[in-house]
Structure formats: structure tokens, C-alpha cells
Amino acid sequence: MKNTLRVERAIHALTQEDLANRIAVSRQTIHAIEAGKYVPSTVLALKIARLFGKPVESIFMLEDGD
């Protein structure tokens, strides 16, 4: 699964730490998601989407092989 988390974060001028604090997760979690090493739960994906005011599909998208 791909995601545009890093881009969204840049648009809103948030550091990984800021974003982590806003949605009550660890900074490591944000890093792992951005690095494509961790696929967040549906709950976490929805929380991220709500924070950026976008549908989940515009931030997280399937890739070939998923």
C-alpha cells in the first residue's frame, strides 16, 4: 500500500512529531507508515484522513500486488 502522508504533512507544515501528537500515536509509527514499513489499522487511517480533511483513499492507496 502506498500513501501520501509525507506530502500531506508537508502541505500542513507538520513534523512527524506534531502529527504523532495530534493523533495520539508514537513518532516511530508515523515514520514507519511513511517509509512503507507499516500498514496502519483502519482506525488509524481514518483518524489521519479526518485530520487532513480528506477521504482515506486520497491518502492511502493500493498498489499492484496488494
Partner 1 sequence: MNTNLLLPHRFKVIGWWILIPAFGLGVLHSITEFEAEWLHARVFAFWSDNLFAQGHFFQRYETNITATIIGVVLVLGGLLVGFSREKVEDEYIANLRLTSLMWAVWVNYLLLLVALLFIWGLPFLTVMVYNMFTVLVIFIVRFNILLHRQPREIA
Interacting residues with partner 1 (CB under 8 A):
6, 10, 15-16, 20, 24-26, 28-29, 31-33, 35, 38, 40-41, 44
Give the nearest distance from C-beta 64 to partner 1 in angstroms.
24
CB count within 10 Å of CB 19 equals 22
DSSP state of 11: H
Residue pair 30/19 in contact by the 8 Å Cβ criterion:
yes
Give the nearest distance from C-beta 21 to partner 1 in angstroms.
9
Q: Which residues pair with 61 in a beta bridge?
A: 2
* 42 vs 66, beta carbon nearer partner 1: 42
